[in-house]
């Protein structure tokens, strides 16, 4: 199984500042036939299901604010929130969909400092 490891486990950032969450896969999730990394990011707020933010490592889902961006390749990936807003308080998960079983990172809790 591909193990997804996020860092840090929790993060406190001031409003308007940048937040960065890292995700590392135990093996490459680059699919050579389409040259895409099969990585997604989800946001989960309390009492809600996860919401898709980013797929193919860096493609923002429709309606997701531009302050959210994804980057990386191979085994190392990053979710960046360029200017933290109060509504961004949530737990963030990365997920690989390169192979089955589909696996998630353990989550990163983002709070306001």
Residues that bind another protein (CB under 8 A): 34, 38, 40, 42, 49-52, 55, 61, 93, 95, 97-107
Q: How far is the CB of 58 from another protein (least distance, A)?
A: 12
Q: Which is nearer to another protein, 14 or 99 (CB)?
A: 99
Assess contact for 49 and 58: CB atoms under 8 A: no
Q: Which is nearer to another protein, 75 or 95 (CB)?
A: 95
Q: Which is nearer to another protein, 72 or 107 (CB)?
A: 107
DSSP state, residue 86: G
């Amino acid at each position: 199984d591909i193990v997804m490891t996020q860092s840090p486990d929790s993060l406190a950032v001031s409003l308007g500042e940048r937040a960065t969450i890292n995700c590392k896969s135990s093996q490459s999730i680059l699919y050579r036939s389409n040259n895409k990394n099969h990585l997604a990011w989800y946001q989960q707020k309390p009492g809600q299901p996860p919401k898709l933010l980013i797929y193919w490592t860096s493609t923002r889902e429709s309606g997701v604010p531009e302050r959210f961006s994804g980057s990386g390749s191979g085994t190392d990936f990053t979710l960046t929130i360029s200017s933290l807003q109060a509504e961004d308080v949530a737990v963030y998960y990365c997920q690989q969909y390169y192979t089955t079983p589909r696996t998630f990172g353990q989550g990163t809790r983002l709070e306001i400092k």
